[in-house]
A and B are shown apart, each in its own frame.
Chain A
Amino acid sequence: MIQDLANAGALPVLEKSLRFASARQRILVNNIANSDTPDYRPLDLAVEGFQSELRRAIETRDRDAGAMGMGRGSGPDRALEFQRTREIDFLENGTIKARPRTPSGNILYHDRNNRDIERMMQDLAENNLAYRTTVELMRRENDTLRIAITQRP
């Protein structure tokens, strides 16, 4: 019963987002650290790829629950089945296996590094905001649970 509370609704989705943002942060920070390394090509995880797979997983979960005559986001088989994508794989032990690719586009400098510091900083800020939003949503979710348990806001 308690376990169902933690595994239902938005929490698994938020957890996946948090883990994705965490893995992406590491890659973005690595790009910045290597901004003066010859031959280094910046890497990135595509946010769109993650989001479309997450959307598919949520829709599948809700449809399965609906087919069993239960409400959206409920039912016994409500686990979020996140399929492995070309870039990311959520492992059973809680870690994430990432295979970042090199986004093409910027010019190559003389040291064969196509760095783009503005783009790097923008990605970093965006990722930071996404993480903060996710954590904030998680807090709300926890607050709601606590209100339900203690019966006072």
Chain B
Amino acid sequence: MYGSLDISTSGMIAQRDRMTAISANIANRNSVMPDGTPYRARRVHFAPGDPAATSKQGRQWGVHVAQVEIDQSPFNMRHDPSSPLALKSGPYKDYVLEPNVNPVVEQVNAIQAARAYEANAVAAESSKQMAAQALRLLVG
């Protein structure tokens, strides 16, 4: 039964990590990196198993963040000839490159992460209830 709680916790941690990445994407919607290129969106990918578990048995259950991918899709463009960052030549002259963050996509992902987090919290609650029920056997 304790194993079940560990699994739900690993799910909540993974969803919270995803939420952190989504928050970072939204916060950096207009950011430019130190080297002058726009910020690229972060994508969190999950994989089954929990390497953080202390027992060998526990490592095959649960979920963990396998990698944080840096989204290589093309940047958004904004027409702004007055900007010092505007492209000086080429077909996209006078355009400013902006981060490839789509706020609609990020909001949808945020809702999904929040719901998944909730589902894990409910599952943890269920396991906790069962453990408490079993404990009542001792009270007599």
Tally of A-B Cβ pairs under 8 angstroms: 92
Residues of B within 8 A of A136 (CB): 133
Assess the A121–B136 pair: CB atoms within 8 A: no
Q: A34-B46, A37-B46 are in contact. Are A128 and B137 (CB under 8 A)?
A: no
Q: When the two chains form their complex, are residues B123 and A135 in contact, meaning their CB atoms are under 8 A apart? A: no
Residue B8, interface by CB 8 Å: yes
Contact B3 A26 (CB under 8 A): yes
Does A10 sit within 8 A of B, measured CB to CB?
no
Determine the residue in chain A with the shortest Cβ distance to B45: A38
Is B61's CB within 8 Å of the partner chain A?
yes
Bound-state CA distance A135–B130 (Å) is 9
How far apart sit A117 and B118, CA to CA, in the bound complex (Å)? 12
Tell me the chain B residues, 44-82 only, with Cβ under 8 Å from chain A.
45-48, 61-63
Interface residues on A, range: 20 to 34
Pick the contact of B119: A117, A125, A131 (CB < 8 A). A117
Would A139 and B112 be within 8 Å (CB), given that A25-B126, A25-B130 are in contact?
Answer: no
Residues of B near any A CB (own CB < 8 A): 1, 3-4, 7-8, 10-11, 14-15, 18, 45-48, 61-63, 112-113, 116, 119-120, 122-124, 126-127, 129-130, 133-134, 136-137, 140
* Known contacts A28-B123, A32-B119, A135-B137; 9 further A-B pairs (Cβ under 8 A): A21-B130, A32-B123, A36-B46, A120-B119, A127-B126, A131-B130, A138-B137, A139-B137, A146-B140
